[in-house]
Amino acid sequence: MLNTPKIAAFLLASFASPLLLAAQPNINEMQGCQGVIDFVEHKVDGAADLYDDQDLATVKKGLVAYDQFIQKTVVSPGLLAFNNGDQGKADAMQKQVDAYKASLVNNLNSRYPGSKLVTDYAVAVNDCAKKAVPQGDDLEALKQSLETLVKLAQQG
């Protein structure tokens, strides 16, 4: 069995790197990350009978905050810039992004059909966080979310 504190420390160590803060996140990668987050949120919602409600709420809170951070700071402004400020075109592209995310969620559901949470989910979200690091309360919520997700995954 994996050691929860060591895994959580390993996963979260990347948040402290100043080099990561300097990197500009790629909109394509971040829409993929939103798909991963949507998938993990779906898994958390479907695991209510397996895990403590408060733990699941902690995981969900961090995921929602991180998803909103990505949308607000990377995806929405990126789509708008790509379309030279044309909000209508940006909105149309957002629909394409949403369809892509839904496709990604379906693919991940095929790969991970069970209801139990696994550490792969925390690793995938953490990999995203290495590319776009939230700040303040959003960062703290994400850290707690990942720590709790690892803890739940190790419960089996």
Share of the chain above pLDDT 70, in %: 84
Residue 19 lies in a domain: no
pLDDT at res. 15: 46
In-domain check, residue 12: no
Domain count within the chain: 1
Q: What domain range includes position 138? A: 27-155
- Rg of the chain in Å (alpha carbons): 16
- For residue range 92-109, list pLDDT tens digits in order: 999 999 999 999 999 999
In a domain, 144, yes or no: yes
Residue 13 lies in a domain: no
Q: Which of 141, 146, 140 is nearest to 122 (CA)?
A: 146
- Cα separation, 128 vs 37, in Å, equals 9
Q: Distance (Å, rounded) from C-alpha 32 to C-alpha 36?
A: 6
**Dist. CA 115–CA 28, nearest whole Å:** 28
Residue 88 lies in a domain: yes
Q: Are 69 and 58 in contact (CB under 8 A)?
A: no
Assess if residue 16 is contained within a domain.
Answer: no
